A and B are shown apart, each in its own frame.
Chain A
Amino acid sequence: EVQLVESGGGLVKPGGSLSLSCAASGFSFSSYTMHWVRQAPGKGLEWVSSISRTSSYISYADSLEGRFTISRDNAKNSLSLQMHSLRAEDTAVYYCAKDSGISCSSTSCSYYFDNWGQGTLVTVSS
């Protein structure tokens, strides 16, 4: 069974830093792209960042303005998100999500988030 368990959330002051982790189990971690997705209280889902299997391809949402860094340790089956210069608008539940890899029916293809963690809450407030 796939399990994704996030940790590291908490209360941090504006301008501060925080590091989130996601422990993965139940699948071949090194074979899949991984993602962070966040959800501010009462708001919608926002994709944050992705990292490919060997960390060769990394992407971020434009809204982050270079303040976040995603990384992974395939030997430890672990995904991380380092967050700096935090703002009130970064307050959210942060989910770790596994990518499906390319999935095709007879007529169409897509990538999707096929497994999610339970989320960890980050609160940025003075």
Chain B
Amino acid sequence: AQTVTQSQPEMSVQEAETVTLSCTYDTSESDYYLFWYKQPPSRQMILVIRQEAYKQQNATENRFSVNFQKAAKSFSLKISDSQLGDAAMYFCAYRSTRDDKIIFGKGTRLHILP
């Protein structure tokens, strides 16, 4: 069974600084998707970034980028120029190409310090 592990329950970063959230996963599959979701206090689940496992190039979305290391089964999220609105719970997630369910990690709560 696939698992997703986020080893940092909470992190803090100064506004305008850069922070990296860690995530590792376990799977025997070769093709899959990885995601980072943001859940602000409103509890809405917002997709931040997506990575297809077959792509070697790391995904980037504005200030958000990932470091995808397939062999190491590592998928970290880097947030550059942190803003107060980035404060939220961040979930790393996995999805096989063969079924529907998204498997989430336990989450990392990110605090932005003004």
Query: Is chain B a partner of chain A in the same complex?
Result: no
